[in-house]
Amino acid sequence: MSGTPDVAVVGGGIVGLAIAWRLTQRGARVVVHDPGPPGAWHVAAGMLAPGGESPFERPALGRLMAESARRWPGFAAELGAQTGQDLGYDETGTLGVALTVDDVAEASRVWRHLGLTRLGPSSLRDREPALSPRVRAGAHVPDDRQVDPRRVVGALRGALGAAVVPTAVSRLDEVRAGRVVVAAGCGTAALTGLPVRPVKGQLLRLRGEPDTFRHVVSGYADGRHVYLVPRADGEVVVGATQEERTDRTVTAGGVHDLLRAALDLVPTLREFALTETMVGFRPATPDNAPLLGALDDRTVVAAGHHRNGVLLAPVTADLIADLVTAGTADPMLAEFHPGRFACA
């Protein structure tokens, strides 16, 4: 790119690339600094599920997640049409399931909050025959969706082309651009001083016969929470641990816990090949809500999405692109302003 860009996006994960894509659509000249290696998106399962624990903790975050889920169909259709790529977008829905009496008690809290009807074992197996007969109860979440984050990032990179450059940024005052958007995940802390910490997660990928099961399964199995995300090509993503650690070690205990819970819920997975074990780091803030908004007159932050980076990518991209190009903040951003940690 010749000349000085209007906006430099620091960070080439799903959030940074989505912001850059929306900025180019608004006529901005954009450069994305993405030195690699891949960040949290490379490990993420791609569940687009706005329910769960976050709405309990922070209602404004729940509303933001719900709004982004509403925008995902249009986002996926538009990106897929522009690039001609299959994003792995699927609207089959999620089955929340529970194995033991204690698991049912824990899961029921979420199901009640979401207004879901509790289903018995036979109803669950009618929907998903691959479930274990030991599963005691569950609920169907029809509006949940999934997408393959690796395909989405590939499509966004293709749409942006030469605007994505493999350059590292160690100081924001060295970036040549009129405005800077910091979407650097865990690296945001070093660039801005904001409290973004890495939360380790271990995740597995299995591969077997396609269509062994269709629904995303979010389950509790003897006190262990696990999610199983089936892809159309026979891949199943199993995740994920959550550990306040910074090492990249895939541990025997982590793999054991994930596999045991997965096989307790869907026994046929024992015939699948274990193709990949991974460690990723979710960028978390002290209140587990993202940092979205202006840090100063030149710098905007879009980071700290924790477990929800893939889900929140469309709404983050729209709101941040509007903030940068129009100069006005949508009211939805108020709860997530990075200034809330000014004294942290």
**Residue 186 sits in the same domain as residue 228:** no
**Residue 131 sits in the same domain as residue 179:** no
**Residue 25 sits in the same domain as residue 72:** yes
Q: What is the pLDDT of residue 56?
A: 59
Q: Please, which pLDDT band fits residue 1 given cuts at 50, 70 and 90? A: low
Mean pLDDT confidence for 245-255: 96
User: Does a structural domain hold residue 2?
Assistant: no
* Contacts within 8 Å (CB) and 24+ apart, 76-80: 76/147, 76/152, 79/21, 79/152, 79/155, 79/156, 79/159, 80/155
**Residue 69 sits in the same domain as residue 191:** yes
Q: Residue 203's domain is classified under what CATH number?
A: 3.30.9.10
User: Does a structural domain hold residue 63?
Assistant: yes
**Rounded Cα gap, residues 93 and 141, in angstroms:** 6
Who's near 90: CB < 8 A, 6+ residues apart? Answer: 145, 146, 147, 232
Tell me if the pTM is above 0.85: yes
**Residue 43 sits in the same domain as residue 118:** no
**Residue 75 sits in the same domain as residue 215:** no
**Residue 208 sits in the same domain as residue 335:** no
Q: From 238, 255, 284, give the residue that closes a domain.
A: 284
Give the DSSP letter of residue 249.
P
Question: Distances in Å between the alpha carbon of 180 and those of 10, 25, 280?
Answer: 7, 17, 26
Q: What is the pLDDT of residue 290?
A: 97
**Residue 71 sits in the same domain as residue 131:** no
pLDDT beyond 50 at 45: yes
Q: Which two tokens stand for residue 302?
A: 């879009």
Q: From 284, 305, 333, give the residue that closes a domain.
A: 284
pLDDT beyond 60 at 127: yes
User: Does a structural domain hold residue 253?
Assistant: yes
Mean pLDDT confidence for 100-118: 93
**Residue 26 sits in the same domain as residue 99:** no
Strand partners, 40: none
Percent of the chain with pLDDT over 90: 92
Percent of the chain with pLDDT over 70: 97
Residue 216 in contact with residue 47, Cβ under 8 Å? yes
**Residue 34 sits in the same domain as residue 136:** no
Q: What is the pLDDT of residue 344?
A: 44
The count of domains in the chain is 2
User: Does a structural domain hold residue 303?
Assistant: yes
pLDDT beyond 60 at 199: yes
Domain that holds residue 99: 94-142+198-284
pLDDT beyond 90 at 167: yes
Specify the length of the chain in residues.
344
**Residue 185 sits in the same domain as residue 273:** no
User: Does a structural domain hold residue 1?
Assistant: no
Q: Residue 185's domain is classified under what CATH number?
A: 3.50.50.60
**Residue 214 sits in the same domain as residue 276:** yes
pLDDT beyond 60 at 2: no
Q: Which two tokens stand for residue 186?
A: 């865990």
Q: From 284, 300, 328, give the residue that closes a domain.
A: 284
Mean pLDDT confidence for 302-331: 96
Mean pLDDT confidence for 111-138: 95
pLDDT beyond 50 at 75: yes
